[in-house]
Amino acid sequence: MPSGGLYRTKLLHKVTRWCQIATMTHRRVIAAIACAGLTAGLTAGSAFAAPTPDRVGPEKKPLAVGTGGAVSTVDAGATAAGLAVLRAGGNAADAAVAAAAALGVTEPYSAGVGGGGFFTYYDAASGEVSTVDGRETAPLAMGADAFLGEDGEPISFREAVTSGLSVGTPGTGLTWERALEEHGTLPLSDALRPAIQLARTGFTVDETFREQTADNEERFRQFPATAEVFLPGGELPEVGSTFTNPDLAATYQQIAREGVGALYTGDLADEIVATAQDPQEADGAEPVRAGLLTAEDLARYDAPTRAATRVDYRGLEVCGMAPPSSGGSTVGEALNILEPTGLSSLGEVPALHTYLEASALAFADRNAYVGDPAYSQVPLAELLSDEFAAERACLIDPDAAAQKPVAPGVPDGEHGPCPAPGTAEEDDDSEGRSTTHLTAGDAEGNIASYTLTIEQTGGSGITVPGRGFLLNNELTDFTFAPSDIAVPEANLPAPGKRPRSSMAPTIVLNDGEPLMALGSPGGSTIITTVLQTLGNRIDRGDNLVEAIAAPRATQRNTEQVTAEPAFIEAYGPALEGYGHAFTETDEIGAATGIEFLPGGLVLAAAETERRGGGAAGVVDEVQGDPRATGTALAPRLVED
């Protein structure tokens, strides 16, 4: 028998020849997608084999420029899946679903069918931006006291996370169905093909995947079904080995056959409910809290379409996700506050000071007023009005940082002179930072900006036995208890309620035409990552890769600014002169984006280093450095 490498080479040659024939038949799209998965799988090798030189996966790179469409994710396999769909004739919605399903394989601790997310889409034919709300919902049995102990005090966050109690009704499956029904050209079964093959044949374990597994090892060992999938053979997967998930492949196959209804009724739905209600712990493990999820919760779930948030910034239209996400409203309010400041004419440090102050003001209003609009009155129009922004902006002292936390404004529609500054209680932010974002665009100008998550890295830590995916812990995004019982709290748990999110899948239009899209993981830091990246691109004139790579700081109305080491090194001393104080974190976010350039080109951008670097790709890439041919990677977006 030939050696492994030679055997795979010969088999790859046969598969390639079959693909050439198959893609000339009337089943071109299906064959092309299947071939992309098969050839990717053959280059990946067999399960948990030692790494060999012939096992080379798709390349990760932060910048790609070309034509035919673009995809950017944190993972090369997911980007390749999306590009395969585009090359086979699918559009941006098809590519986004295919890439998302692949991320469920390669980024299982951040995303998957056990979670939810928000999908924002620009339709080139109509010129409209719409959204799908795939946020998880609380079980009907969940009340405002769900996260309180017998003593009436909130239980610990750690106890809440790793439990059935944290599991909300998953929304990812119905998001995929709704996105394809509204915008796609392919059936879900075709969009799932690359991910099914990727789950079967596996992907190469990198440092990030091993590190995330190691960080969760103790939790994962609590649940035999989780350990079986993610600690194969009882050990951490080695860097360079190939990780397969045949259980997930079978689950995806069932969804491909039966539709996403399988996640909400029938045997798979029953297994999800049973797992959430009674997580099966390992012998000797501490028992965890039981969940409240029922079959009725799954059967009743809906992923509604919602109007996008919209603000004008420097002549551009910035569209985002409306409540229950706070992403669109908070990014939009902060941009409105920044609009009259002329950031591009300020020095770098004064501009950063202004950005930090605007972010704190917008977060004060987010914390006070944004929640599920079905359960509380969210004054969205007022929060996004220019008049309210002016009332808030007048509180920014160009020479000094305000005492934090600042008080929220009063979005009552009455706008008077600048109010006196005030302070507030600091918000207890426990929103998980392990999420993932993907961006896709096609040759027609359609754009998908999609953020999806299972909340914390590893979600609840609980895997549905035999199904290959983790359940979310999204319900810990609720406020466990009000900080002041005399003040209404918009984000307390309630039956069927969606917890507030910070996911901010964003699309930017220029005169109604598609310009760019971006988003990021990172819990509540998503908002500041998107805001800072937009400022870097629009006001500073960085190209999109530079805008994403720039060092980050996040001010979420807290006493201290959380910032990356490079930011503190470059700007900390100068900003401390304004009164800002800093606390350090290794990294903030892991953004992806695309931008349509003049001349019919599209640019895909991803992280250069964060989360191991991202994977940007285009259908037909410009050879060599595009700047050598005179291509401007950062055309001027605003007038001086």
Plot region of 427 (φ>0 → left; ψ -120 to 50 → alpha; else → beta): beta
Q: Which of 137, 172, 330, 435 is catalytic?
A: 435
Angstrom distance (rounded) from CA 600 to CA 626: 13
Angstrom distance (rounded) from CA 574 to CA 619: 44
- Which candidate, 239, 525, 252, 568, places its Cα nearest to that of 363? 525
Is-contact 399 346, C-beta < 8 A?
Answer: no
* Amino acid making up residue 619: V
Question: 190: helix, coil or strand?
Answer: helix
- Which candidate, 530, 137, 164, places its Cα nearest to that of 313? 530
Question: 602: helix, coil or strand?
Answer: strand
Angstrom distance (rounded) from CA 529 to CA 438: 15
Structure tokens at 80: 């390749």
Is-contact 136 170, C-beta < 8 A?
Answer: yes
Neighbours of 302 (CB within 10 A): 12
Is-contact 598 604, C-beta < 8 A?
Answer: no
73 an active-site residue?
A: no
Maximum alpha-carbon separation in the chain:
84
Element (H, E) at 575: helix 565-576
**Integer angstrom CA distances of residue 273 from 133, 162, 257, 258, 296:** 22, 16, 21, 19, 10
* Amino acid making up residue 230: F
Neighbours of 87 (CB within 10 A): 17
Angstrom distance (rounded) from CA 128 to CA 147: 40
User: Among all chains, which residue has been given the structure tokens 């928000």?
Assistant: 118
| Burial (CB count <10 Å: 0-12, 13-18, 19+), residue 599 | exposed
Say how far residue 454 (Cα) sits from the centre of its chain.
Answer: 10
Residues belonging to the active site:
435
